[in-house]
Amino acid sequence: MMLLIQIAWRNVWRQKIRSLVVIIAVALGLFAGVFASAFVEGMMRQKIDSVIRLEMSHFQVHRPGFRDDMRANLFIEDVSALRQALKDEQAVEGVSERLLVMSMLGSANATGGITLMGVDPDAEATVTDLHTKVEEGEYLPANKRLPILISQEMAEKYKAHLRSKLVLTLQDVNGDMTAGAFRVVGIYNSGNNLFDEQHAFVRKEDLRQLIGIPVGVHEVAVLLNSHELAEPMATQFQQIFPNLEVLSWMDLASGMRYLVEAFGAYLYIIVGIILTALLFSIVNTMLMAVLERVRELGMLMAIGMNKFRVFGMIMLETIFLAMIGGPLGLLLSWAAVAYFGKYGINLSGAAYGEMGFATIIYPYLDASSYWNVTVMVIVMAVVAAIFPAKKALSLKPAEAIRKI
């Protein structure tokens, strides 16, 4: 056995061209697989992070039926039990109780429909990042009268700026139309255009008066200290409060669940395709190497090296090659992911912002994925060598030796 290893190892260095080709092919394949995965994964993470930190939090509680049409009268009356339960739960980092209503926004220039969020600024800040995204003015100061925080998109569309007056028309809890005039105190930009176009923020108390709900809220948003807990917590709370609707972020954002679950499959497909391309290269290269060594292999079999050993020798050579190319590719791709992971790949020209993806992608790959791809590549390289190695066995020593 040691003999085979020794011979295989030395053979690797003897056939420089062949070895270099396979090593680079493996390294390249690995690089491609890892980088592509990291890119897509980085995008996913950012999207998930953004969805959770800006829009959905980890889970939300509503009265059943509220989410369909956002009728003002479908609010949660008694929040105290929920509030207590959340307080007792260690994993909870922040809770925001909100009033929400679909409203018409009118300025001198335009009118349009938006979602108006009535929040308690301090509580809200524990749950979302919005307060960090205010570009002009302030978040929702306590000392101003009827303040409203709008997005830059809205500011442009309605030709509003700080201190503009905006009229918000909505249907109150009784079904009557009512309106309120708010002053713009801040303009935010979250980077997610879809979100920005739709959401404006006012103080909960101000909205309460307008809608006519003395006590109760439409929505309770909860932020936890870890993404993984979202699903189990949501299920848990749903069981505790069967009369309310408790949904995790995956179910709140349409298609998120699918996206997240499909993501894994998507990655495997990408890597699978790259691996297949790699397969061709290696099979071909090893095949040529074997056929080139007809004389040598024939001689080995003539003097008594049995088929199993010959097969083993060729497989060992491939394994060595893969073991060299593997780490090489791993190093390269790790460096690339680390570099771009820090500085980001700038896709500003592109419209990712429109779709809710960030415009700078930070590729990311967790350690286990590196391993997975590496193992897959090495296994594939070795599998690729099986056919050529078998071919070697069907050589007839007599013929092989006679080939001049």
Partner 1 sequence: MYLKLAWRNLWRNKRRTSITMASVFFAVILSTLMMSIKEGTYVNMIQSMVGSYMGYAQIHADGYWDDQNLDNSMVLNDTLIKIISSDSEIDGYVQRVETFSLAASKDVTKGAMVVGIDPVAEGKLMELDERVVEGDYLEAEDKAVLLGAGLADFLELGVGDTIVLLGQGFHGVSAAGKYLVKGLIKFGSPELSKHVIFLPLKEAQWLFGMENRCTSVILLLRDPNAATDVTQQLAAHIDSRFEVMSWETLMPELINMIETDRVEGYVFMFILYLVVSFGIFGTVLMMLAERRHEFGVLVAIGMKRVQLALVVWIEVIIISICGAFAGMIGALPVCTYFYLRPVRFGEDISKMVEDYGMEAVLQASIQPEIFVQQALIVTGIACFISIYPLIKVMHMSAIEAMRQ
Partner 2 sequence: MNQLVVETKDLFKIYPGVVDVHAVDGVDLQIEDNEFTAIVGPSGSGKTTLLNIIGGLDRPSAGSVKVNGHELSGMTDNELIDFRLKHIGFVFQSYNLIPVLTAEENTEFILLLQGTPKPERELRVRSLLKEVGLEDKLNSRPSQLSGGQQQRVAVARALASKPDFVLADEPTANLDSKSAENLLEIMAQLNQEEGITFIFSTHDQRVIDKARRVITLEDGRIVSDERR
Residues that bind partner 1 (CB under 8 A): 17-18, 21-22, 24-25, 28-29, 32, 35-36, 69, 71, 102, 104, 109-113, 159, 169, 171, 175, 177, 193, 254-255, 257-259, 270, 273-274, 276-278, 280-285, 287-289, 292, 347, 350-352, 354-355
According to the binding rule CB under 8 A, does residue 304 interact with partner 2? Answer: yes
User: What are the Cα distances from residue 49, in Å, to 55, 66, 128, 153?
Assistant: 10, 25, 11, 22
Assess contact for 82 and 244: CB atoms under 8 A. Answer: yes
Minimum CB distance to partner 1, residue 399 (Å): 17
10 binds, among partner 2, partner 1, none (CB under 5 to 8 A by kind): partner 2
According to the binding rule CB under 8 A, does residue 91 interact with partner 2? Answer: no
Q: How many CA atoms lie within 13 A of 272 on its CB side?
A: 6
Q: How many CA atoms lie within 13 A of 325 on its CB side?
A: 31
299 binds, among partner 1, partner 2, none (CB under 5 to 8 A by kind): partner 2
Comparison of 262 and 302: residue with beta carbon closer to partner 2: 302
According to the binding rule CB under 8 A, does residue 324 interact with partner 2? Answer: no
Minimum CB distance to partner 1, residue 3 (Å): 27
Give the β-pairing of 199-203 and 111-119: parallel
Comparison of 206 and 317: residue with beta carbon closer to partner 2: 317
**Which one of residues 309, 323, 341, 344 is an interface residue with partner 2 (CB under 8 A)?**
309
Q: Which residues, numbered 365-404, are part of the site for partner 2 (CB under 8 A)?
A: 396-398, 401-402
Residues that bind partner 2 (CB under 8 A): 3, 7, 10-11, 13-14, 295-296, 299-307, 309, 396-398, 401-402
